[in-house]
């Protein structure tokens, strides 16, 4: 049996019809987001595996933008892994602040990407084109900020989760929808944890100089 056939193999779990890909996507995604919230570099490895699995799951559901998004996630995860690893040879990469101007630029970029993807998905006859496009655009902006170790990325991930949960539930991806509920909780923790680490990094040198 090939990998695609294995991941799309379905089984019954209570009243829900699930696939092997749903289960593996749930497990690897949960581990990836938890490691990210803990600012662990290993989040990238598990994130790459999670993207490979979910890419197949979303393609099977004709969520073309989100399937293509997983390819982008793999590329961005490799980039983030290299950046974080390069810092470990000297000093861990510092958490970076964000500005209102940068957030405005990101919002504009997300809006443009959403509109363009929406039109492409209409031509491809994809499922839920506007929502699929919005999730893809928001996720790319969130991942870009995560790679730069910006705590603001968590606000974007929270937005992605809020939009994703009803979409996946409506497509019968109940386990993945449940996973994104857990993601939402972990994202709130991740925001708190990164903000705290960022504050400690700022206050540390000041305390040392007094």
Residue 7's pLDDT band (boundaries 50, 70, 90)?
Answer: confident
Adjacent-strand bridge partners of 150: 96
pLDDT tens column, 147-157: 888 999 999 99
Cβ atoms < 10 Å from Cβ of 102: 15
Query: In the prediction, which pLDDT does 147 show?
Result: 86
Max avg pLDDT among 34-43, 57-66, 152-161:
152-161
Dist CA 146 CA 184 (whole Å): 16
Dist CA 191 CA 205 (whole Å): 22
Percent of the chain surpassing pLDDT 90: 34
Dist CA 181 CA 187 (whole Å): 10
Dist CA 66 CA 54 (whole Å): 9
């Amino acid at each position: 049996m090939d990998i695609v056939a294995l991941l799309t193999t379905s089984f019954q779990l209570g009243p829900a019809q699930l696939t092997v890909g749903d289960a593996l996507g749930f497990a690897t995604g949960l581990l990836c987001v938890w490691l990210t919230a803990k600012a662990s570099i290993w989040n990238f490895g598990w994130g790459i595996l999670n993207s490979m699995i979910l890419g197949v799951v979303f393609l099977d559901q004709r969520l073309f933008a989100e399937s293509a998004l997983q390819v982008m996630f793999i590329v961005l995860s490799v980039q983030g892994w290299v950046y974080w690893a390069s810092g470990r040879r000297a000093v861990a990469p510092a958490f970076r602040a964000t500005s209102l101007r940068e957030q405005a630029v990101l919002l504009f970029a997300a809006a443009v990407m959403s509109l363009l993807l929406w039109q492409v998905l209409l031509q491809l006859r994809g499922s839920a084109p506007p929502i699929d496009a919005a999730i893809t655009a928001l996720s790319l902006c969130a991942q870009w900020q995560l790679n730069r170790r910006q705590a603001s990325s968590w606000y974007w991930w929270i937005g992605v989760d809020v939009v994703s949960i009803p979409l996946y539930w409506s497509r019968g991806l109940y386990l993945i929808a449940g996973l994104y509920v857990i993601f939402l909780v972990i994202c709130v923790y991740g925001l708190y944890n990164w903000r705290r680490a960022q504050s400690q990094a700022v206050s540390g040198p000041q305390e040392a100089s007094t």
